[in-house]
């Protein structure tokens, strides 16, 4: 990777990972048959499929991106016969624990070495308050987790950190509680869970930073087409933004308001980004995203913007490396407990390529435009978003960069390197 070419054309990105995870879980809880088109068949989402199969759910592959699920109903799951392995998927274990905490049996969930280092106290605490019995390593804060579920009560829970995964876990458990459950967020996070549950007949009330879910007896099945993933699209958007004269169209991408912080940042930095043919599919806003690169200037990303772009920060760092001036991102301490410490990983990676940058406890700064120096191996730390960001920087700068581990990309975007080469011609 490393040649700059005329960047133009149309790029189709795979189905949204967040929505794919939720569709599999929620359809499994429904009564009747659900059909999911546009499903993302990546390593992480397939871990969620595996979890539901372990609970007795029948899931049939019609094609790699279309599946049929015979729901077991909210109270029809089987006790798993073995330990459930969530692999590297934080979404699988965190949201899945909300379902498992409500079941009248014992479940054990673990993951790979990376996942076993990620904090789970943030779901254990509220689910325990609701009545579940959860034990794990390091005072019940790290996987493996043993969950003895059932008999949940309603709570009002104020989250210390905005997290859609934690919110979703609590809301799913709340469907089984004896009274309503309210979650209060410090800042709004993505609302895919609320939208999907509403479409399935659940009673969900949203008021500013509060979300309340009422106990439910049943959920309607899903018939959904998953939109393209804005987080996967972000790498191509940043690539086009960094190259003056570049022009790309990304059709059918989900533009949920809780997910498009990157768009605002790129516009501030100077890119021309437009939404064409806006529409709604399955309760989610969708559009064709058109972007033209015009050269970038630095910007500041304050804490209140971070929840809407938390997964896109590595890509924003790459854009900042090619922008004029100093870009600063604060209020993003959550990045330190992702698949890697993304703050440290990006600073280390960019520094090794000649970019002036540095860390804060809750963020980082990047000064550009940098003269990228290639020819050495750069670590991805086994993190798909770090790996893809570094490949995009190589593509935009025209400087060859060897990323030590690109296999991790398959967790969210199988075929990304090939797609990138196609765009570069």
Residue the block writes with tokens 């829970």: 157
DSSP letter assigned to residue 305: G
Count Cβ atoms below 10 Å from residue 141 Cβ, excluding itself.
16
Give residue 297's region: left, alpha or beta (phi > 0; psi -120 to 50). Answer: beta
Residues with Cβ < 8 Å from 418, sequence gap 6 or more?
A: none
Give residue 416's region: left, alpha or beta (phi > 0; psi -120 to 50). Answer: alpha
DSSP letter assigned to residue 175: T
Strands 325-329 and 300-301: parallel
Rounded to an integer, what distance in angstroms lies between the CA atom of residue 388 and that of residue 390? 5
411 and 42 in contact (C-beta within 8 Å)? yes
The residues that are catalytic are 311
DSSP letter assigned to residue 80: P
Residue 132, SS3 per DSSP: coil
123 is written with which tokens?
A: 């779901």
Residue 85, SS3 per DSSP: strand
Rounded to an integer, what distance in angstroms lies between the CA atom of residue 134 and that of residue 30? 25
DSSP 4-32: ----EEE---PBPHHHHHHHHHHHHHSEE
Rounded to an integer, what distance in angstroms lies between the CA atom of residue 176 and that of residue 151? 8
Residue the block writes with tokens 């940043």: 238
323 and 296 in contact (C-beta within 8 Å)? yes
Strands 133-136 and 142-148: antiparallel
171 is written with which tokens?
A: 């809301």
């Amino acid at each position: 990777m490393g040649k700059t070419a005329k960047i133009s054309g149309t790029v189709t990105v795979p189905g949204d990972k967040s929505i794919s995870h939720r569709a599999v879980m929620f359809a499994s809880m429904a009564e009747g048959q659900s059909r999911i088109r546009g499903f993302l068949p990546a390593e992480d989402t397939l871990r969620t499929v595996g979890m539901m199969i372990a609970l007795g759910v029948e899931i049939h592959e019609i094609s790699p991106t279309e599946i049929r699920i015979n729901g077991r109903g909210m109270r029809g799951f089987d006790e798993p016969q073995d330990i459930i392995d969530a692999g590297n998927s934080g979404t699988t274990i965190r949201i899945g624990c909300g379902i498992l905490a409500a079941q009248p049996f014992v479940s054990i969930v673990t993951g790979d070495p990376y996942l076993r280092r990620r904090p789970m106290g943030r779901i254990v605490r509220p689910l325990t308050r609701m009545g579940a019995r959860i034990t794990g390593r390091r005072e019940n804060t790290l996987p493996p987790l043993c969950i003895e579920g059932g008999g949940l009560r309603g709570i009002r829970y104020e989250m210390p950190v905005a997290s859609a995964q934690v919110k979703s876990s609590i809301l799913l458990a709340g469907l089984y509680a004896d009274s309503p459950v309210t979650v209060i967020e410090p800042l709004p996070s993505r609302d895919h869970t609320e939208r999907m549950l509403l479409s399935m007949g659940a009673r969900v009330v949203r008021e500013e930073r509060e979300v309340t879910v009422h106990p439910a007896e049943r959920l309607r099945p899903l018939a959904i087409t998953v939109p393209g993933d804005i987080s996967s699209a972000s790498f191509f958007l940043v690539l086009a933004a960094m190259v003056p004269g570049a022009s790309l169209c990304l059709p059918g991408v989900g533009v949920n308001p809780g997910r498009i912080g990157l768009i605002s940042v790129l516009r501030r930095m100077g890119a021309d980004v437009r939404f064409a043919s806006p529409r709604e599919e399955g309760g989610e806003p969708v559009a064709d995203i058109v972007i033209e690169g015009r050269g970038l200037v630095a910007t500041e990303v304050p804490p209140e913007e971070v929840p809407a772009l938390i997964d896109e920060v590595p890509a924003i760092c790459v854009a900042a490396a090619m922008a004029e001036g100093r870009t600063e991102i604060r209020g993003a301490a959550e990045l330190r407990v992702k698949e890697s410490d993304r703050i440290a990983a990006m600073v280390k990676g960019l520094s090794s390529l000649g970019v002036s940058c540095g860390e804060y406890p809750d963020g980082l700064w990047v000064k550009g435009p940098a003269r990228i120096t290639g020819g050495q191996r750069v670590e991805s730390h086994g993190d798909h978003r770090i790996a893809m960001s570094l490949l995009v920087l190589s593509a935009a700068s025209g400087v060859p960069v060897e990323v030590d581990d690109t296999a991790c990309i398959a967790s969210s975007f199988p075929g990304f390197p090939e797609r990138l080469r196609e765009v570069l011609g």
